[in-house]
Structure 1
């Protein structure tokens, strides 16, 4: 299976030599095409810094990150912007939808920036909207939608240009339990039916149980790794809770 993400011995330091903080300390792992990987860890563990480095929001101090065999740690300026625009999709906790655009226009924006033909834009937006079951909100503005609908529109925007890797940062953090379940089922469906490659940071064990593999981060290092295998989601959830207990510290920061 093709390797989409390859993280090699990355480190991220903050501060000065007299007061140095290692947010990430020699982390290495890979993600294959079509995988749904979750990342968990206590507050301050380095999981958000890891996501920021992979998403090109932040830069590593040392090491390499390859996405589709492209070393993103060597990219700068317009090259980096183009790579981010073409290869990555983002799902944020706070949706980041533009209030003055309809759902259709928010989703289409990624394609418009890539100068896709208008006729193709409409077809692609309608296709991803059908997959995420949001066809009925395409002409609505964000203020007219529920939190769950906004997040599925944001997910459609992340998916519509067929990125190599989708990065989700606490995607259910602002949703109620019903909306969270609907979004996670949609992401699971996209992963299985569209072969979408997803990496999701979450503090929530229920959310993490929808992934196929979980990386647990502690003190800037990979502490443990779980594969779902043939487990039911409930069985996988229970195994996740066991590792969270082993992580120690304030469990409420992870659960």
Structure 2
């Protein structure tokens, strides 16, 4: 498999010389095509900063981040905007759907901006909606949908451009347990059936148990790594809890 993401010795500082905070301390790792990676860590550990740097929302102080061989730390202006639009997909905790657009229009928006023909847009939106089981809400507005439906619409929007990498920031954080499980099943479908490469930040061990590999961040560094391998999801969950316990976390509300 080819490497989709390569994080090479990155550092991130905030503040001035008199009051300098190191949020990321020389982190390096790779993500291969088709992987489903989780990032876990305590509040202030650097996991969100790491995701922000990979998503191009924030800039590294040192080091390089390569996505499909492109050093995104060197991109600026319209080149950065185009790269973000075409190569990255985003799933946020608070959905970030446009209230004035239907589910269909929210999903199709990126394709419309890319000037994809209307017939192709129709086919692609309905295909992804069927896989994520949201066909029945395509003509509804966000206020007419449940939280779980909105998050699956957001997932379809993230997938519709066939991005190289999907970045998910606490995607189950605003959902009840039933909706969270349905979303996680949908993300698993995206990964297994559509070969989506997913990097997800989560505080929740159950959510993380859907991943194939987990990086634990502590004090801006990679503290530990777990690979699911042939484990059942239940066994992987137990292993995650073991690491969380080692870090001093609460196993009922992981980080």
TM-score by length of 1: 0.98
Please say if 1:231 is aligned against 2:236. no
What's 1:93 paired with? Answer: 93
1:23–1:253 CA distance, 2 compared to 1 (3 A) = farther
CA distance in 2, matches of 1:98, 1:70: 30
Question: What aligned pairs does 1:6-155 form with structure 2 within 5 A after superposition?
Answer: 6-155=6-155
CA distance in 1, matches of 2:249, 2:96: 32
Q: Does the CA contact (< 8 Å) of 1:42 and 1:253 recur in 2?
A: no
CA distance in 2, matches of 1:47, 1:26: 13
Pairwise CA distance, 1:254: 3.2
CA distance in 1, matches of 2:188, 2:252: 25
Structure 1: gaps of 5 or more residues: none
CA distance in 1, matches of 2:251, 2:45: 13
Q: Secondary structure at the match of 2:226?
A: strand
1:174–1:107 CA distance, 2 compared to 1 (3 A) = same
How far does the alpha carbon of each residue in 1:9-44 deviate from its partner, in whole angstroms, 9 at most, with x for none?
000000111111000000000000000000000000
CA distance in 1, matches of 2:63, 2:133: 41
1:174–1:112 CA distance, 2 compared to 1 (3 A) = same
1:218–1:70 CA distance, 2 compared to 1 (3 A) = same
1:61–1:199 CA distance, 2 compared to 1 (3 A) = same
Q: Secondary structure at the match of 1:96?
A: coil
Q: Does the CA contact (< 8 Å) of 2:60 and 2:73 recur in 1?
A: yes
How far does the alpha carbon of each residue in 1:55-102 deviate from its partner, in whole angstroms, 9 at most, with x for none?
000000000000000000000000000000000000000000011100
Pairwise CA distance, 1:248: 2.2
Q: Does the CA contact (< 8 Å) of 2:244 and 2:250 recur in 1?
A: no
Pairwise CA distance, 1:223: 0.2
CA distance in 1, matches of 2:251, 2:234: 19
Pairwise CA distance, 1:249: 5.7
Pairwise CA distance, 1:251: 6.2
Q: Secondary structure at the match of 1:171?
A: coil
TM-score by length of 2: 0.98
RMSD between aligned alpha carbons? 1.0
1:23–1:252 CA distance, 2 compared to 1 (3 A) = farther
1:73–1:145 CA distance, 2 compared to 1 (3 A) = same
Q: Does the CA contact (< 8 Å) of 1:40 and 1:201 recur in 2?
A: yes
Q: Secondary structure at the match of 1:49?
A: helix
CA distance in 2, matches of 1:210, 1:253: 17
